[in-house]
Each structure stands twice: as structure tokens, then as C-alpha cells.
Amino acid sequence: MAVTDHVDLNQFMEGVKKRNPHQPEFVQAVQEVAQDIFEFMEDKVRYHEAQILRRIAEPDRIVSFRVCWEDDNHNIRVQRGWRVQNNNAIGPYKGGIRFHPSVNESVLKFLAFEQTFKNSLTGLPMGGGKGGANFNPKGKSDAEVMRFCQSFMTELYRHIGPETDVPAGDIGVGGREIGYMFGQYKRITGRWEGVLTGKALEYGGSKMRPEATGYGAVYFLRNMLKHRGEDIDGQTAVISGSGNVATHAAEKIVQMGGKVLTLSDSDGFIHDPDGIDQNKIDWVKDLKNVRRGRISEYCDHFTSATYHGNGARPWNVAADLALPCATQNELDEDDAKALVANGCKAVSEGANMPTTLAGVKVFHDAKILYAPGKAANAGGVAVSGLEMSQNSERISWNHERLGEMLTELMEGIHEKCVEYGDEGAKNGGYVDYVKGANIAGFKKVADAMLAFGVV
């Protein structure tokens, strides 16, 4: 193969921007990875020659489709659905489905791109994909959600399968939606198979899956603190979000002796200086999963707390630890500065890309511990990978065993990040977890792609 002059980082990013106009989230996710990978590839000409990063940043395919459904007032509604199959070099496409009005192609492409690196980091054989629709589940009846899910799956089923692409939940898609979609897949195909993860225990779900993302983010946080000789016990934490990831992250912080001060939703946040204990967390879980209410209701029930509305975010509340567990770009440069100024020493992302690039720079400059979502929240998809194994083997592992496996998986991811992200003596032993996650995640996918030749 001829050794060609390869493009530099700036030329590469110019190309990405040109080919993906009006897709800022996707460009942001590629930028964050590309700066580390270009440094790593500097002396590795084979990755340049084979255009590996260029190929990972171009989804294998994107399916876009119309989703029609009828609301309770008999209006016909039309939504747009997608599945982005980013890369299947190391296993079937794997990644969640998001139902939220903000969903568009840019958001799903960034999520599928990130998922490719995240899934690689778990060490399990899973490629990267993501899907969703611009459907807003807020305020919809169960029957409306069911009809939407059935219509969505009526198109999606032909693109997925246990050996090709295995979706799961994400924002707006939890146990209820997975149930409706699995039921429709089974009805259309006549096959009971492990085509979705995040299923309920009665029909092939895995124990520990609901807890895995939030618990995993706290295990990762503990691993980072331990690496510096510190611990979660006795520390305060600010958490954003109030869904599955946030409530389980809060639960694990409390179990490890920490004190959780905040939770939020898109309307605002609650600040409870007495601490959000297990009893309060259980109340929030019921509020979100059963009553489907808003976090502001917390203050009517627990008078120790105050509510901050108008979309306020919790990053000005002083705490030792921060766990953004809501959504992308929910923590910007000013928020990061406020956290650092208030003495925050570690950030672990339960959400996908919650911190802007400028926010990440603030954390790095201040040399505080910072774990990007693709490493810190990988516990969720890792247990999804274990759900796939259990479905294939037609077995079900117990809670204890899965808990141990999750702990080990998160330790493994932390070790890989340290291996590739430790800046050693040149930077006072600081570990750049973004760099570590990017390089470790990239290397496995890239080496598999090299083995396949030009495909």
C-alpha cells in the first residue's frame, strides 16, 4: 500500500464539519475523540493509511422512517424515527433508543459514535448503534405510548436482530416502552429472541440492569478517588436528572456513605441540604416510574428542600462530587467554573456527553478528576451485554453474581483509562480519563477493522 500524505487534525475536522452541516452534537463528539486519536496515531501510519477514524466517523448506515400513530382524541400524529448503525467491527450494533422532542439525526449520530467507543471499552463483543424518535412521552397516556411503540417497531423490526442490532432503553424509553416494543417484535416475527435488552425479569431481562448505569458511574467515581487515595464516604454530591440513571447513582452514593444534595428535571432542580436518603430516593423512583410526575413535587412532600425552577441546573450548589445524569450539554463552561470554585474534586458522567468541550477544558485545567460518559456510564450497556449472553444461553444469573461482574467490568474500564490516559511525570501523575477512554476504545475497534481490510 502506498504511503500517502495524511491529513492533520484541523483538516480532518474541517472535513467532518463540511460533510455534516447543521449537526453540532455529532461534530462535538467527533472533535473530542479526534484530538486524542490524532496524537495517538502520530507514529502509527497504518491507521492513517486505512482511514480508520474517518471510517468510524461515518455511520455504516442510517435508517430513517415515518412513525404514524393515533392519539386518544383520534388525531393522526406523524413522528420521525431513526436507527443509526455506526460500527459493527467487534460485535452486533448495540445501543439504546431515545424518545424525546430534541431527538434528531445529529443527536443520534453523536450517541451512536460515542456508543462505539463505550461498548469497546467494556471488553464485551458489541458494536455501536443508537436509535429513537422525536416523540415526546411527557403527558401521554399508556395507550398512546403503546400505540407509538408498536408503530415504531413495525418499521424497526426489519433492521434489528440478536446477531445484527440489539437496541435497549435511553431517555424516554424504560421498562414500559421496552415491553411494548418487544411484544410487537415477537408478534410480527413470531420469534422470542434476545433482540432488545432492558427487558423485565419475567421475559428474559437481566437482574441488575436497571441499577447498572447509575451504580456503574459511582463505581467508576470510587475507582478514580481510590487511585488518589480518597473515598466517597463522608463526601457531598450534586446530581442532575431524576430518572433511572440519577436515582440509582444517588442510591449507590448513599450506600457508600455519601450525601446527595440535588436532583433535577428539565424544569428545574431540588436542593435538599438534609440529604436525599434511601427513603426519599424510593419516593422519587415512584414519582417518576409510577406517577410520572415532576421533581418540583418533591418539595411539597419533603419540606427540608427548596425548588429552583425556570430550567435551573444544580451546578452552583457546593459539593465535593458532581454526577451529571440528565442529558447532553447540560454542564457548560460557567457551570464547570462554579463547580471548581466551590471545591468540587471529581466529576463522573452518568449521561452521554453532558459536559461541553469548554467545560471539559475547565476540569482538565483545574486537574480535578473527570470521567467522560463513555467510560463512567458504560456499566449500563455492559450489563446489557450480559443480558444478551444470558438470553443466548437461556439462563439467568443471580443478583450477587451480576453485581460482582459489574464491579469488575467498571474496574477493568478504569484500568484501561489509566493505562492510556496517565500523563505520568510530565503532568504530575494526572490521569486524563477522556484521552484514556478514547484511545482504549478506539484501539480495539481500529485493530478489528484493519483485520477486515477495506470493507
Residues annotated as catalytic (active site), given as ranges: 130
Which of 381, 434, 445, 448 contacts ligand GLU by CB under 6 A? 381
Contact flags string 62-101 toward ligand GLU, x per CB under 6 A: --------------------------------xxx-----
| DSSP 8-state assignment for residue 453 | -
Query: Does 330 engage in binding with ligand GLU (CB under 6 A)?
Result: no
Q: Based on CB atoms, which residue is closest to ligand GLU, 261 or 375?
A: 375
Contact flags string 184-223 toward ligand GLU, x per CB under 6 A: -------------x--------------------------
| Alpha-carbon gap, residue 398 to 46, rounded angstroms | 44
Tell me the closest approach of the beta carbon of residue 440 to ligand GLU, in angstroms: 17
**Residue 370 in 3-state DSSP?**
strand
Q: Based on CB atoms, which residue is closest to ligand GLU, 258 or 350?
A: 350
Tell me the closest approach of the beta carbon of residue 241 to ligand GLU, in angstroms: 13
Q: CA gyration radius for the chain?
A: 21
Q: Based on CB atoms, which residue is closest to ligand GLU, 104 or 296?
A: 104
87 in Cβ contact with 60 (< 8 Å):
yes
Query: Does 372 engage in binding with ligand GLU (CB under 6 A)?
Result: no
Residue type, 172: G
246 in Cβ contact with 275 (< 8 Å):
no
Piece in contact with ligand GLU (CB under 6 A), picked from 100-108, 232-240, 301-309, 377-385: 377-385
Which of 106, 122, 262, 352 contacts ligand GLU by CB under 6 A? 352
Tell me the closest approach of the beta carbon of residue 436 to ligand GLU, in angstroms: 18
Q: How many other CB atoms are found less than 10 A from the CB of residue 45?
A: 13
Q: Based on CB atoms, which residue is closest to ligand GLU, 30 or 276?
A: 30
Burial of 422 (0-12, 13-18, 19+ CB in 10 A): middle
Piece in contact with ligand GLU (CB under 6 A), picked from 20-28, 296-304, 328-336, 376-384: 376-384
Percentages helix, strand, coil for the chain (3-state, rounded to 5) are 50, 15, 35
Tell me the closest approach of the beta carbon of residue 114 to ligand GLU, in angstroms: 8
Tell me the closest approach of the beta carbon of residue 225 to ligand GLU, in angstroms: 23
Which residue intervals of 202-321 are DSSP H helices?
Answer: 209-227, 244-255, 278-289, 297-301
DSSP-derived secondary structure for 295-323: TTHHHHH-TT-EEE-TT--GGGS--SEEE
Tell me the closest approach of the beta carbon of residue 328 to ligand GLU, in angstroms: 11
Residue from 117, 22, 80, 207 nearest 433 by CA: 117
DSSP-derived secondary structure for 26-52: HHHHHHHHHHHHHHHHTT-HHHHHTTH
Using CB atoms, what's the residue nearest to ligand GLU?
96
Residue 259 CB contacts under 8 Å (≥ 6 apart), including other chains: 235, 236, 237, 253, 275
Contact flags string 150-179 toward ligand GLU, x per CB under 6 A: ------------------x-x---------
Query: Does 384 engage in binding with ligand GLU (CB under 6 A)?
Result: yes
| Strand extents, DSSP E, 92-171 | 93-99, 128-133, 165-168
What number of chain residues touch ligand GLU (CB under 6 A)? 10
What's the angle, vertex CA 279, arms to CA 275 and CA 284, rounded to 5? 85
Piece in contact with ligand GLU (CB under 6 A), picked from 217-225, 353-361, 380-388, 406-414: 380-388
Q: Based on CB atoms, which residue is closest to ligand GLU, 198 or 436?
A: 198
377 in Cβ contact with 349 (< 8 Å):
yes
Q: Based on CB atoms, which residue is closest to ligand GLU, 105 or 170?
A: 170
Give contact residues for ligand GLU (rule: CB under 6 A).
94-96, 168, 170, 197, 352, 380-381, 384
